[in-house]
A and B are shown apart, each in its own frame.
Chain A
Amino acid sequence: MSEQIKTIIINDNHPLMNREGMFYKDFPSDYRQIRYFTLLIVQKAPPKIKEINLLEQQISEMIKNAVKHGNKCDTGKKIKVWYFFSQEEAKIIVEDEGPGFSAIKQWNKFNKERQACLMANDFEGLADYVAYTTDESDENDGGNALFAAVEYWNEGVIFTSKANCVAMGKKFERKNNSLELD
């Protein structure tokens, strides 16, 4: 991905949408269990994976979005999660039964303006762009999870055109802990 301004992409046919070879779990949309569900997924990750706490946090954000904003915490609705982890990469797809995140274009525009403030070190201006909220946001929504997501998931944050399904991928930097032999 470009090191310039990272965006959320809409693409039903992106390679990260390919579920082949991935593990699968589904969960009821129970807000109280979001971090527990996340741990059930992350336990499949190799322990040596780089910064596993950060991986857990990033996955938890996407499960929270699906449970809270997608399925409105309706425990009769499921979230479906496909995932794959190795020491080299992490891939995850989260799908909910909601109407979809309809504000992707607005979010990308907002993030572009936010990045402009950051690049200009304009922290006064940044005050207007610290959090992205919509009419549906409440006081417990930080409004910053997707800013971090587009930075963390260096292979992309991809939504389907219906926008109720998001796929993300990350390649990990190799740990240089072996001796190099000529």
Chain B
Amino acid sequence: MELKIRKNEDIYIVDVNGEMDLYNSYKLKELVMKMLEKKVSKFIINMENVEYIDSSGIGALIYISSTIKKLNLKLLITNVRGSVKKVIELTKLMGYFPITQSINEAIKTMKE
């Protein structure tokens, strides 16, 4: 799994590439926690290039979502599709996660 960060004004977009599985999902958690230490307050996690997710990956997203929610900061998860969407649907957490269809929609929502 590869993680890349880009910026749109004060919004930080984390592009996740590859597989979010039991061996590497912790990396996304660690990255977001470091960004929180650096006072980042608006996050978009872009799942467009995630080919595989398992319960550890879902667990990482739960941890990140609940942490950011508790801190009253902003998070949107975007481009959830294919087998990643299916796995989240199986856990019935589609309504729990703050999901948008596209990055543009996420940026627009963040700026509202």
- Point out residues on A near B: beta carbons under 8 Å: 32, 34-35, 51, 53-54, 57, 60-61, 64, 118, 121, 123, 126-127, 130-131, 139-145, 147-148, 151-152
B62 CB contact (under 8 Å) in A51, A54, A61, A144: A144
A34 touches B22 (CB 8 A): yes
Contact of A142 among B56, B90, B95 (CB under 8 A): B56
B34 contacts the other chain (CB 8 A)? no
* Selected contact of B92 from candidates A57, A61, A64, A151, CB within 8 Å: A151
B residues less than 8 Å from A140 (CB atoms): 22, 25-26, 56, 59
The residue that A130 contacts in the complex, of B25, B66, B87, with Cβ under 8 A, is B66
**Residue total for B at the interface (Cβ-Cβ under 8 A):** 28
Q: Please, which residues of chain B bring their CB within 8 A of the CB of A118?
A: 92, 95
Choose among A127, A141, A147 the residue that contacts B66 (Cβ–Cβ < 8 A): A127
Q: Which residues of B contact A143 (CB under 8 A)?
A: 55, 59
Query: Does chain A have a CB within 8 A of B54?
Result: yes
Contact between chains at A126 and B83 (CB < 8 Å): no
- Summarize A's interface: helix, strand, loop or mixed: helix
Contact between chains at A57 and B54 (CB < 8 Å):
yes
Determine if A142 and B52 form an interchain contact, defined as CB atoms under 8 angstroms apart: no
Asked if B96 contacts A147 (CB within 8 A), the reply is no
The digit string for B6-28, where 1 denotes a CB below 8 A from any CB of A, is: 00000000000000011101100
Q: What is the predominant secondary structure among interface residues of chain B facing chain A?
A: helix
Apart from A35-B23, A53-B51, A53-B52, what are 18 other A-B pairs with CB-CB below 8 Å?
A32-B23, A34-B22, A54-B86, A64-B54, A118-B92, A118-B95, A130-B66, A130-B96, A140-B25, A141-B59, A142-B60, A142-B62, A144-B59, A144-B91, A144-B93, A145-B55, A148-B91, A152-B90
Q: Tell me the number of A-to-B contacts counted with CB atoms below 8 Å.
A: 81
A35 touches B21 (CB 8 A): yes
Given contacts A51-B83, A57-B87, A148-B55, contact A123 B95 (CB under 8 A): yes
In the complex, are the beta carbons of B59 and A54 less than 8 A apart? no
Closest to B19 in A: A35
> Is the beta-carbon distance between A54 and B83 smaller than 8 angstroms?
yes
User: How far, in whole Å, are A172 and B86 apart by their CA atoms in the complex?
Assistant: 15
A15 to chain B, nearest CB (A): 23
**Residues on the B chain within 8 Å of A141, using CB:** 55-56, 59
Interface residues of B in 47-65 (CB under 8 A from A): 51-60, 62
